Structure 1
Amino acid sequence: MNQQQLDRIKNGKGFIAALDQSGGSTPKALADYGIPEDAYNNEDEMFDKVHEMRTRIITSPAFDSEKILGAILFEKTMDRKVEGKYTGDYLADKGIVPFLKVDKGLADKENGVQLMKPINDLDETLRRANERKIFGTKMRSVIHDPDESGIEAVVQQQFDIAKRILASDLMPIVEPEVNIHSEEKEKCEELLRNHILKHLNELEEDQQVMLKLTIPTKTNAYKELVDHPKVIRVVALSGGYEREEANEKLTANDGLIASFSRALVGDVYADQSDETFDQALQNAVDSIYAASVQKGR
């Protein structure tokens, strides 16, 4: 594991950009960017379009290591090039630490949660991630209801896979998202915190992870996780909150930094001039950075 990148993620000031929409979410990401589904004829053209979008974001002067610590990529983005370099190399050269989304999407809801679908090619994906100079990975499950057995199943699955990722010398981001529309969101978060603590305490002496969590309803509900010696960093997803609300909620929680997706790129569009595009992205970066650093760990 790259120690310089590890130190940057652990101690640096800034946030992690999430640029990892994939599969079924790609058409919506493109539509939000201003590219409708009739603008491409097949999946290959769709992924060409989304890579053009991500390339424009990554190469923008607003996408800078002064405020962005890392970026989470989709597998096809990792395998493509930006200005002649593989995306991970391009980001690393900018001083931005590259991560890779490794999950294959969500299973159907059961016991109030959605586990990850099987990741049958995980070992091969991790091998390629190391080849592409990727620092860490991310994988997402979703919790809808405060079902004890369901939440334990989510956390167990996440940590089982995290240990395989650690064995490949990569840093796992464990992401058990709580649905912001859950009628018992705070109860879900309380149960989730307790189950994560149990699994953190069972890690080996030399094992540490990152966590990516929904901004909690109760301020500082995850402070015990932020301060845990087995946790490198706790980052927060926007979860569907608009950027202003997400930033406000984030600022109130000590030690949390952002890992936003739509809240980061929601104001950039395909038909904008470069000047307008860069300024819109800069405004987003500045506000998310401010929310991430106002309260230090």
Structure 2
Amino acid sequence: MTKTEQANKLRAGQGFIAALDQSGGSTPKALRLYGIEESAYTSEAEMFDLVHAMRARIAQAPEFTGDKVLGAILFEMTMDRDIGGKPSPAFLWQERGVVPFLKVDKGLAGDTDGVKLMKPMPDLDPLLERAVKAGIFGTKMRSVIDAANPTGIAAAVAQQFEVGQQILGHGLVPIIEPEVTISIADKAEAETLLRAAILAQLDALPADQEVMLKLTLPETANLYESLVNHPRVLRVVALSGGYSREEANARLAQNRGVIASFSRALTEGLSAQQSDAEFNATIAKSIDDIYRASIAG
């Protein structure tokens, strides 16, 4: 029943998805923005302890509940640790009403045809089995589009859906994330190509399968409306992609049916040096701003 409850919450709920899934490569930057310099830790283990403390602080903030936060994407190490004395996925769902997701990709391969595909994931099946046991609802995986190259974009989307089928086979819902880099000159053209490639893959899915999509906020408002309304799509969420929270929220509000799945824009303004009262007030405002932009479209 839990899976059905979670799917219904994601399908019909008002709110957004918090991305708390910075990995080894992006963790030092996330900690630096949080006010913790690299000189504060001497090993990867210490670094991950610090970033877990940050994530746990966010997840335990009074406003971080299913009323406005529909789901949260976790890094593998977060899934394996506790928050508030419970395994992180159980804490999120049982204590907060927030649906847990897991980031499963292992980073990006090099440039090919204007895109960066995902690195191979030879250990994906065992990871997915662990995720199911831990009470995870779905997964997230990211590739990157750096040019309006039809060959590259088709390859990136095909890879996403191929791995997505593997994830669906474990009873999990994949979040397909082919991110378009916000700074490229041909961003609008890349997004039009991306929409066509995704539609072709969605149309080929069996009738009983659903995926979620995580997409860069488009240059043209409502460009992805056909994806939002597609019967194989549970929800379309948007990444902030380097936009400030203010700009990301403004763009998001212009896109009907799309909700946020922000990482940096969510944690903007948070600091390890803040008192709990200051921290909780800052995250409460962030949550409220992103929530309002998510329900405005």
Length-normalised TM-score, structure 1: 0.98
> Which residue identity is paired with 2:63?
A
Q: Which amino acid aligns with 2:99?
A: V
Residue number in structure 2 paired with 1:109: 111
Residue pairs, 1:23-172, within 5 angstroms: 23-93=24-94, 94-172=96-174
Q: CA deviation at 1:205?
A: 1.5
2:79 aligned partner, one-letter code: M
Instruction: Return the offset for 1:109.
Output: 1.1
Distance 2:39 2:289 in 1: 34
> Which residue of structure 1 lines up, in the alignment, with residue 236 of structure 2?
234
Q: Secondary structure at the match of 2:111?
A: coil
Q: Following the alignment from structure 1 to structure 2, what is the Cα–Cα distance between the partners of residues 66 and 2? A: 18
Matched AA of 1:182 = I
1:156 alignment partner, SS class? helix
User: Counterpart of 1:211?
Assistant: 213
Deviations, residues 69-92 of structure 1 (Å, cap 9, x unaligned): 000000000000012111000000
- Taking only the aligned residue pairs, the percentage that are identical comes to 56
Q: Deviations over 1:244-292 (max 9, x none)?
A: 1000000001111000000001111000000100000011000000000
Q: Distance in 1 between matches of 2:220 and 2:149?
A: 19
User: In structure 2, how many angstroms separate the alpha carbons of the residues matched to 1:50 and 1:86?
Assistant: 16
Q: 1:66, 1:222 → 2: CA distance?
A: 26
Amino acid at match of 2:74: L
Q: 1:133: how far off?
A: 0.3
What is the rounded CA distance, in whole Å, between the counterparts of 2:149 and 2:85 in structure 1? 48
Runs of 4+ in 1 over 3 A off after TM superposition: none
- SS of match in other structure, 1:115: strand
The farther-off stretch of 179-188 and 59-68 is 59-68
**TM, length-normalised to structure 2:** 0.98
Shift of 1:23: 1.1
Q: Which runs of 5+ in 1 are unaligned?
A: none
1:181, distance to aligned residue in structure 2 (A):
0.4
Distance 1:182 1:142 in 2: 12
CA distance in 2 between partners of 1:169 and 1:287 (Å): 33
For the residue of structure 1 that corresponds to 2:202, the secondary structure is helix
For the residue of structure 2 that corresponds to 1:109, the secondary structure is: strand
Matching residue's letter, 1:292: S
Q: CA deviation at 1:110?
A: 1.2
Secondary structure, counterpart of 1:41 in structure 2:
coil
CA distance in 2, matches of 1:251, 1:2: 29
Give the match for residue 191 of structure 2.
Answer: 189
Distance 2:201 2:276 in 1: 46
CA distance in 1, matches of 2:234, 2:53: 32
Counterpart amino acid of residue 241 in structure 1: Y
Distance 1:195 1:72 in 2: 25
Q: Counterpart of 2:42 in 1: which secondary structure?
A: coil
2:5 corresponds to: 4
Give, in angstroms, the shift of residue 120 of structure 1.
Answer: 1.2
Shift of 1:64: 1.5
For 2:16 and 2:51, the matched residues in 1 are separated by 22
Instruction: Report the CA distance between 1:62 and its aligned residue.
Output: 1.9
- 1:111-168 Cα distance to aligned partner (Å, 9 max, x none): 0000000111100110000111000000000001011110010000000000110010
Q: CA RMSD in A?
A: 0.7
